Chain A
Amino acid sequence: MNFHETRLDNGLQIVAELNPAVHSVAVGYFVRTGSRDETTEVSGVSHFLEHMAFKGNETYSADDVNRIFDDIGARYNASTSEEVTLYYAAVLPEYFAQTFEMLSVLIQPSLRQDDFDIEKKVILEEIGMYADQPTFTAYEEIMRSHFKGHPLGRCILGSTDSINDLTAEQMREYHRAHYRGGNIVLAVAGNIAWDDVLALAETHCGGWPAGQSDRPTEEAQPPGGVQVITREASLQQYVMQMGSAPPATDDRRLAAELLSVIVGDDSGSRMYWELVDPGHAEAAEVGYNEYDGSGVYLTFLGGDPETTTANLERIAAIYDSVNREGVTEAELEQARNKVASRIVLRSERPMGRLSSLGGNWVYRQEYRSVSDDLTTLKSIGRKEIAALLETYPLGEQTTVAVGPLTSLA
């Protein structure tokens, strides 16, 4: 396993973890832009732009882009979060050059008006699809209310209105501002030579504009609150809660990750044994989400409406006990073993390594090998968990409920 890194003159950073023992290679552009970098007028533009990337440039039409990726049997896609727009592909090493060229086409698309008009309909269908999913509604609302007044509160998809009002020119302007060398990390994992990566990057990315866009990253100060969205036709009640946790650049993030496994993993955790195993709830989990400058514990509860209050009390009691007494050595050992196995299994595929490689670089300018991750994991003990809980205790500041209930009291 070899790690390499460099930076082009336009600021684009390249990181690669190369491994001749695997069968494929994964490559991704991590563009440091997402819904938090938008303004109200262009809400949803990052995600819409990610779709438009696949419509090609002056050389390649939309049909060409899809056809060429399929010609070489690539597994490819893109995603947009609050902070990062990711374009990626996994292919056999013999098709790396073609894949690289096509992925690079995605980063500097033409953004033609007629493509924009058709794709707008697809985006509106996507908004409709998510509107039919109560858990998605809960997630969107809790992000909005927990991060009220903070850029992280902006919705990734935008609204039907903001998408209808968005113009192609506004999108072009957003693209010009954010798709610049200094905002982009190119990550490569798998079976390929570093020289090939460098040569292709010079050819395809060397001419991209330099520069970097600003992103204010002060830690969110959530106002807190409870919101109940009543859906009479719903059979189940879905509740999400958020509380502050360490930001992405905080060393305590790994302790937070491990704590969430102990307390709220989907099996074998405290919440599993107290709520799911006895059949009190269909799902009761807590996860840790890291962002630039902020972080959250995200609690999810799904179950029968009439059991909601009792289940929320059960969760509160678990959090209270963890905040007061910490976790046991046996729980820690179990969580470390679980997480270690996940890290190793995921790393057997280049696609699994890509997200870790790119994510670590975008957020922390840091390379972490699998063995680095395993070493850190072993070093987290009760003391580290206690230090984390001191500043970031488990709990909720913000609650959103979706379902038949009209109140949570």
Chain B
Amino acid sequence: MKPQEIHTHSLDNGLTVVLEPMPDVQSAAFSLLVPSGSVFDPPGKSGTGAILCDLLTRGAGERDSQQLSFDLDNLGVQRHESIGTNHLTLTGATLADNVSQALSIYADIVRRPHLPADQFDAALAGAVQALRSAEDDPRHKIMPELSRRCYRAPWGLPSDGTLDELPTLKADGVRTQYDRCFRPNGAIFGVAGNIDPDTVLAQIQEAFGDWQAKDEPTFDIGERGPVVDHITYDSTQTHIGIAYEAVPYRDPDYYAAWAAVGVLSGGMSSRLFTEVREKRGLCYSISASLSTLKDEARVLCYVGTEKPDETLDVTLREMVRIGEGIEQNELDRCKARAKSSLIMQQESTLARSSSIARDWFHLGRVTTLAEVGDRINALTVESVLDYVHSHPAGNFTVMTIGPEAVEVPVEFS
């Protein structure tokens, strides 16, 4: 693996710039994390950040909505704006030659958005319709419902809002949210690709250096939903979501936790795929992965099936069975997958820009691909099992959507 060059710089206002030059590619990508996620939505007003996210690109600086979109398209920027629990994230990827012009437009979007009040109704209508579509597709609905039940509010609340609360939002509230939350302190700007780091840093400094820091807004911590829950829906399959506790990205045991989930669900030779799908034909789709917030984490599993009782039983049994032992070759396969995925990440500027920004958020530094590789190579069957024994799969949150409620077997409840 070629050594990576990573440059980090913190501006006086608290914005951190993380840069990774990648000389072998033609493109460059950026990922800007603004600490204005849905946890800051006012109580009873979930979805405020989501509407803000939509309105941000409806005109900024000198450009109205159409001009902004037109200019970014002409620069070839493939862009995406999204709201998560902690951040409102803006990403873009384009040819490296165009990235400087793109960044100056993003300075307008972040610092000088018009947030036009007359387009609030349109943004709201779009958000409500997206949620109504999700209601029609239980496979999309199950994981947000699971999050509400395995994480406390506000972390578990849906970032996209709810059908109850969205209609109560007002244009003023979204403007207030911007004024209260949008700030450089805690924001992270990751840029990766065929860039000159000094030039990019100077440009970001120029465009964002005089952005004024603000006090971090506060929020109240609430409850989580019921541990076992069901929504009755007239579907062919029953959609099952399962969660249990794990350790977050910053924890020294994170990679052991990652490997334990890998044994369970990394690749088609993993235990869940083999036992639930290949041997028994109980499902088409099954997967489990680590979901990490800054201070807590869960293993989240999805499976859709027409035989929910047996599927839930076999799945939970496999989750618990990890504690009985792991084969050396199962761990070796996790390592092989990690190796190829780390190396292939170097072929994607968007993946790298997101990864370095995310690292900074969780760790306050960037782990190089070589370092991640070393941490994973250092794992042993014993170290992964030690983790599993100190964090056994149990206290499951089980959420189902389908024709009938599913009984969680007594031994797992």
Contacts and interface: CB of A to CB of B under 8 A. Distances in A.
Interface of A: 21-24, 54, 62-63, 66-67, 69-75, 90-92, 95, 118-126, 128-129, 131-135, 233-236, 267-268, 273, 276-282, 302-304, 330, 333-335, 337-338, 340-342, 344-345, 348-350
A293 B292 CA distance: 49
Contact of B237 (A24, A132, A281): A132
B253 interface: no
Given A72-B336, A119-B281, A268-B69, A128 B306 contact: yes
Closest 5 pairs between A and B when the two form their complex, measured CB to CB: A341-B76, A121-B281, A279-B125, A73-B340, A279-B122
A311 to B, nearest CB: 11
Interface stretch (B10-18, B24-32, B168-176): B24-32
Interface stretch (B127-135, B179-187, B243-251): B127-135
Contacts of A72: 336, 340
Question: Which of A74, A235, A335 has the most C-beta atoms of chain B within 10 angstroms of its own C-beta?
Answer: A235
Contact of B74 (A91, A131, A278, A333): A333
Interface of B: 24-27, 58, 65-66, 69-70, 73-78, 93-95, 121-126, 129-130, 132-133, 135-139, 233-237, 239, 266-270, 273-274, 277-285, 304-306, 329, 332-333, 336-341, 343-344, 346-349
Nearest to B68: A268
B278 A73 contact: no
Given A70-B333, A73-B336, A233 B234 contact: yes
B55 to A, nearest CB: 12
A63 B26 contact: no
B344 A235 contact: no
Given A66-B278, A341-B78, A273 B66 contact: yes
B153 to A, nearest CB: 25
A279 B116 CA distance: 14
B76 A340 contact: yes
Nearest to A115: B278
Contacts of A348: 25-27, 347-349
Question: Which of A23, A69, A304 has the most C-beta atoms of chain B within 10 angstroms of its own C-beta?
Answer: A23
Given A92-B339, A341-B94, A344-B27, A122 B281 contact: yes
B136 A236 contact: yes
6 contacts: A69-B267, A73-B339, A75-B341, A75-B344, A280-B125, A349-B344
A235 B340 contact: no
A341 B347 contact: no
Given A73-B339, A341-B78, A349-B347, A235 B135 contact: yes
A132 B235 contact: yes
Given A63-B269, A70-B269, A348-B349, A118 B279 contact: yes
Question: Which of A91, A280, A345 has the most C-beta atoms of chain B within 10 angstroms of its own C-beta?
Answer: A345
A119 B278 CA distance: 7
B284 A122 contact: yes
A134 B78 CA distance: 28
A180 B329 CA distance: 36
B166 to A, nearest CB: 12
B126 A282 contact: yes
A283 to B, nearest CB: 8
Contact of A277 (B65, B267, B269, B284): B65
Nearest to B140: A133
Nearest to B77: A341
A133 to B, nearest CB: 6
B268 A302 contact: no
Contacts of B75: 337, 341
Given A75-B340, A125-B237, A338-B76, A236 B25 contact: no
Given A63-B269, A70-B333, A236-B133, A92 B69 contact: no
B340 A74 contact: yes
A276 B387 CA distance: 48
A345 B29 CA distance: 10
